[in-house]
Amino acid sequence: MQQNLTREEKRQQKLDVILRNAAKAFMERGYYKTSLDDIASMQNVTKPTLYYYIKNKEDILVKCEEVTCGRINAMLDEVMAKNISGYEMLYQFIMRYIGIIIDDVARCHVRHRGQMEDEMLRAQSIKNHKDIENRVREIIRRGIGDGSIRNCNSTILAILLFDSLNGLTSWYKADGKVDQNELTDEVLALVGSGVCRT
Amino acid sequence: MQQNLTREEKRQQKLDVILRNAAKAFMERGYYKTSLDDIASMQNVTKPTLYYYIKNKEDILVKCEEVTCGRINAMLDEVMAKNISGYEMLYQFIMRYIGIIIDDVARCHVRHRGQMEDEMLRAQSIKNHKDIENRVREIIRRGIGDGSIRNCNSTILAILLFDSLNGLTSWYKADGKVDQNELTDEVLALVGSGVCRT
DNA sequence: TTATATTGTTACCGAATAGTAACATATTTT
DNA sequence: AAAATATGTTACTATTCGGTAACAATATAA
């Protein structure tokens, strides 16, 4: 039994490594410029071996999405269960969202979501994001309801918020010049109070 | 002479149509899933004919970028020449930027900038955007200087601003449900005052 | 009208690459 | 130890597609 578990764990670990390496390569070189041979050689195996862990190339994107959306939704479960104002919820969501998407697998998901060639998978991917977006809209509406957030179009605000947060994935490097805390502070200040002085 | 001009004009017009159709296809199906045969058949010509107007596939991206960056810089020239506060400049920039990037060629540029395979072209593309970003940073700094914009990190603010504005290109459809004026108002309200009520 | 430049076509090449079939080896279970 | 399962490899297929050479037609200029 324990050996079975170990085998299963090994398998899961190998899948994780494949996802992480593939995601990194997709972000650096792009999805179509990264061949399965490239990905395979990163794990020191050959291409057919990958097919033991993934269904096909596109399945890598799907699996990156599953992992990332799982994390985001779990975080939203936590944040939305708290007994705090809508604005405070939004604040905490932003803070923790930045923490989640600074990760190759998450960045890969953000960049490629809704771009699967398979129609069913593409529809599912779009739905996954819409669901998350709707939960954030719910937070915004709560904030408007309890008076902590200025009255606004929650749909547009949620989209603008995700655009700027997801945009981070294409330039922010955890080891770069910009400190994560400073970045988070600037985002929170901008979203909270805008740029106007008066 | 007049015939020469007409020929030259015809040529330019055909190139414009190629760019517009290619840009639209790239946005709908993606760059790699759109073949040159696809693009050629949209203009009712064959693939080799395209090579009379473009150097190669990547050159389409380059030309979309030239057109778009030209428009943005011309707009910045105008806005920055005015005798108004930094905040008012930023306000006008945002308003007119939204007008510019709601266009297939501009959307294509935004989505594919910095992704050329040719190293030189990629570097040039990155530089083009950095230059524009720096001009917006200059506006922000002026606003901080004249007291119209809250003291903040102009680098991060400029990036966040472009992320949310460029993000529009992937969801906003001019003929969709969201009115351009309402969208612009929401963006300006968010950037100006944030979401916080107090 | 004749020469020249422009615009277009057909037919093809070469390279890349996703995915598979058949076969080999290691590991676990009985 | 034997059977079964999991993991991996080599070799190959099929297809797509960017780009080009050679050739044809058309418009412009001399």
- List, for residues A88-114, the tens digit of each pLDDT value: 999 999 999 999 999 999 999 999 999
Location of structure tokens 């199906």 = B29
Q: Is the pLDDT of residue B44 over 60?
A: yes
Distance CA A40, CA A188 (A): 40
pLDDT in tens, B81-105: 999 999 999 999 999 999 999 999 9
Question: In which residue ranges of chain A is pLDDT below 70?
Answer: 1-5, 198
DSSP, collapsed to helix, strand or coil, labels residue B194 as: coil
| A162 Cβ under 8 Å from any chain B Cβ | yes
CATH code 1.10.10.60 for B1-54: yes
Question: Which of B62, B161, B169, B63 is CA-nearest to residue B107?
Answer: B169
Distance CA B87, CA A185 (A): 21
**What's the Å distance between residue A61 CA and nucleotide D14 C1'?**
24
Distance CA B30, CA B1 (A): 41
**Which CATH architecture does the domain made up of B57-193 adopt?**
Orthogonal Bundle (1.10)
Q: What nucleotide is nearest A49 when CA is compared to C1'?
A: D8
Q: Where are the domains of chain A?
A: 1-54, 56-193
| Mutation for B interface: A144, A154, A195, A197, most B CBs within 10 A | A195
Residue B189 burial by Cβ neighbours in a 10 Å radius (0-12, 13-18, 19+)? middle
What is the reported pLDDT for B5? 57
What does the radius of gyration of chain B's CA atoms come to, in whole angstroms? 19
> Which residue type does B183 have?
L
pLDDT in tens, B150-189: 999 999 999 999 999 999 999 998 778 888 889 999 999 9
Distance CA B109, CA B107 (A): 5
Chain A residues 44-83 with Cβ under 7 Å of strand C are 47-48, 51, 56-58
pLDDT band at B45 (very low <50, low <70, confident <90, very high): very high
What is the reported pLDDT for B169? 94
Q: What nucleotide is nearest A52 when CA is compared to C1'?
A: D7
**What's the Å distance between residue B55 CA and nucleotide D20 C1'?**
13
For residue B31, the chain A residues in CB contact (below 8 A) are 32
For residue A118, the chain B residues in CB contact (below 8 A) are none
Q: Is the pLDDT of residue B129 over 90?
A: yes
Determine if strand D comes within 7 Å of the CB of A47. yes
A87 and B150 in contact by Cβ < 8 A? no
Burial A40-53, CB ≥16 within 10 A → b, else e: bebeeeeeeebeeb
Per-position DSSP letters for B58-94, written without gaps between them: HHHHHHHHHHHHHHHHHHHHHHHHSSS-HHHHHHHHH
Give the residue from chain B lying closest to A147, CA to CA: B197
Determine if strand D comes within 7 Å of the CB of A11. yes
Location of structure tokens 């294509």 = B108
Q: For chain A, how many residues are written?
A: 198
DSSP, collapsed to helix, strand or coil, labels residue B149 as: strand
Determine if strand C comes within 7 Å of the CB of B52. yes
Question: Which of A38, A39, A36, A162 is CA-nearest to residue A90?
Answer: A162
pLDDT band at B198 (very low <50, low <70, confident <90, very high): low
Cβ neighbours around A106 below 10 Å, total: 23
A150 and B195 in contact by Cβ < 8 A? yes
**Which CATH architecture does the domain made up of A56-193 adopt?**
Orthogonal Bundle (1.10)
Average pLDDT score over chain B: 93
Average pLDDT over residues B49-63: 96
